[in-house]
A and B are shown apart, each in its own frame.
Chain A
Amino acid sequence: MSTSKSKVYPDAESALRGIVKDGMTLCCGGFGLCGVPEKLIGALHDSGVRNLTVVSNNAGTDGAGLGLLLVSRQIRKMISSYVGENKEFERQYLAGELELEFSPQGTMAERVRAGGAGIHAFFTKTGAGTVVAEGKETRVVNGETYILETGIVTDVALVKAWKGDTEGNLIYRKTARNFNPNMATAGRITVAEVEELVEPGALHPDSIHTPGIYVQRIINGSPYDKKIEKLTVRKRTESSHAMVS
């Protein structure tokens, strides 16, 4: 196998070299701090690139996830559905230093999925009759109002998976999957970080969540110290069905 064609990079910094630049657009996987490509975000931070437009469901927390790039003022605009866990975000937004576009979570997921699938716009009923519909084309079909939303494709996508092979095939774990498979399809260049990087054949072809065609670069990001935003447990005495926090 020719080294020049390898998708495998030794670390996050080298995996971003030559593909990140000021003013670029970025898709980023993760939900809260779950399944966030934290090593690649760290390398993006260290690269010093600025004026980023970032498509991500959330904006991290103060100093973690995308919060790292907010503190360093590298993000110009966020496209997100929920940004409630981040004080620095709030400060920059209220001071007019940060642009924000809210997209309903399902609309955002579909915009990214559609963009990656070559669907440049679609009609959805989500947000009809709300501020989300303002300035957008609407159409009534069979008595129901739909609004036109556009697909999203970005310069780069950063995703986090559990296992990956050197061909870029990815498998996610539990709810750390979230936006990652969708974001992976929407980057002109997609960089994946995985906890375990294996040789082809080690992952069962039927088990692949993201086929390697979507992934141009991959790193082994381990070790990981995964963060929990809201640790919630139950007492041993409670019934097995108790859900109360």
Chain B
Amino acid sequence: MPWSREDLAARAAKELRDGFYVNLGIGIPTLVANYIAPGMKVVLQSENGMLGIGPFPFAGEEDPDLINAGKQTITELASSSYFSSADSFAMIRGGHIDMAILGAMEVAENGDLANWMVPGKMVKGMGGAMDLVAGVKRVIVVMEHTSKDGDPKFKVHCELPLTGANVVDMVITDLAVFSRPSRSESFKLIEIAPGVTAEQIRSKTPARYVG
């Protein structure tokens, strides 16, 4: 049985380490915050200028001056700090953020990532995604293994315009987990969802991988 959205978030959360500064993308990556292990300290960064994202506010306690990068209302923690957009991306681009967990449209076997633009459709913009993948130490992609039409998303080459070249370290899909120790090495199949076979994964994965 393929992993659910919640399973994917929980699996991605296993990559977190105590003391990490982490940026979570919109969608399933946001759910990762719910699975941070008890006792583990993880500081969430919001690229609009905040470290230490707190939980969503209780109704009536929302503050229009306090939002995350997805424009949702949030709260602050005792340890939070605020800073400008230039400072925010200095810490992102400068390699000070330990991990980014993002969604994707396509990932290539060489670690290329496409997650911002579909030619022919109205382009909304890359926001901070290109800066995140260029600068964050470790980039984890969480995505469905295939598109809604059944097309594989982990491919030999990305066909969509890239967000970054050779920037992905781990791919977590609803069927499997692929990882590589460094960006000069190939991805390796390291986990398979329950009830899914290695053969099924191979048939839905044009990208070449080890294992």
Are A and B subunits of one complex? yes
Chain A residues packing against B (C-beta within 8 Å): 31-35, 57, 80-85, 90, 93-94, 102, 104-110, 112-113, 124-132, 162, 172-182, 209, 226-234, 236, 238, 240-245
Q: How far is the CB of B99 from chain A (nearest CB, A)?
A: 16
Given A106-B128, A126-B130, are A233 and B57 also a contact pair (CB < 8 Å)? Answer: yes
A111 vs B106: C-alpha distance when bound (angstroms): 29
Neighbouring A residues of B57 by C-beta, 8 Å? 232-234
Neighbouring A residues of B49 by C-beta, 8 Å? 31, 175, 177-178
Contact among B31, B131, B163 for A105, CB-based, below 8 A: B131
**Do the beta carbons of A124 and B33 come within 8 Å of each other?**
no
Q: How far is the CB of B179 from chain A (nearest CB, A)?
A: 22
Given A175-B66, A177-B49, A233-B73, are A245 and B56 also a contact pair (CB < 8 Å)? Answer: yes
- Is residue B59 within 8 Å, beta carbon to beta carbon, of the partner chain? yes
Contact among A226, A227, A230 for B70, CB-based, below 8 A: A230
**Do the beta carbons of B86 and A110 come within 8 Å of each other?**
yes
Q: How far is the CB of A118 from chain B (nearest CB, A)?
A: 15
A236 vs B56: C-alpha distance when bound (angstroms): 11
Most chain B CB within 10 A, of A81, A179, A245, is at A81
**Do the beta carbons of B65 and A34 come within 8 Å of each other?**
yes
**Do the beta carbons of A126 and B70 come within 8 Å of each other?**
no
Contact among A82, A83, A228 for B62, CB-based, below 8 A: A228
Minimal Cβ-Cβ distance residue in A for B59? A233
Given A233-B73, A234-B56, A243-B55, are A174 and B82 also a contact pair (CB < 8 Å)? Answer: yes
Minimal Cβ-Cβ distance residue in A for B129? A104
Q: How far is the CB of B159 from chain A (nearest CB, A)?
A: 14
A158 vs B28: C-alpha distance when bound (angstroms): 36
Neighbouring B residues of A93 by C-beta, 8 Å? 122
Given contacts A110-B90, A177-B49, 5 further A-B contacts (CB under 8 A): A105-B131, A106-B47, A126-B93, A180-B84, A243-B33
**Do the beta carbons of A90 and B89 come within 8 Å of each other?**
no
Most chain B CB within 10 A, of A31, A105, A107, A112, is at A105
A244 vs B74: C-alpha distance when bound (angstroms): 11
- Is residue B146 within 8 Å, beta carbon to beta carbon, of the partner chain? no
- Is residue B126 within 8 Å, beta carbon to beta carbon, of the partner chain? yes
Q: List 30 A-B contacts (CB under 8 A).
A: A32-B71, A85-B71, A94-B122, A105-B85, A105-B126, A106-B85, A107-B131, A110-B86, A110-B93, A124-B93, A124-B134, A125-B93, A126-B131, A127-B130, A130-B162, A130-B163, A130-B165, A174-B50, A175-B49, A176-B64, A178-B49, A180-B84, A182-B84, A209-B84, A227-B64, A228-B62, A228-B73, A230-B73, A233-B56, A233-B61
Contact among A34, A84, A90, A172 for B64, CB-based, below 8 A: A34
**Do the beta carbons of A128 and B65 come within 8 Å of each other?**
no
- Is residue B149 within 8 Å, beta carbon to beta carbon, of the partner chain? no
Neighbouring B residues of A176 by C-beta, 8 Å? 64-65
Neighbouring B residues of A124 by C-beta, 8 Å? 93, 134
A181 vs B165: C-alpha distance when bound (angstroms): 31
**Do the beta carbons of A81 and B64 come within 8 Å of each other?**
no
Minimal Cβ-Cβ distance residue in A for B46? A175
- Is residue B88 within 8 Å, beta carbon to beta carbon, of the partner chain? yes
Q: How far is the CB of A124 from chain B (nearest CB, A)?
A: 7
**Do the beta carbons of B124 and A84 come within 8 Å of each other?**
yes
- Is residue B210 within 8 Å, beta carbon to beta carbon, of the partner chain? no
- Chain B 92-119 residues near chain A, CB threshold 8 A: 92-93, 112, 117
**Do the beta carbons of B48 and A31 come within 8 Å of each other?**
yes
Given A130-B163, A240-B55, are A175 and B82 also a contact pair (CB < 8 Å)? Answer: yes
**Do the beta carbons of A229 and B71 come within 8 Å of each other?**
yes
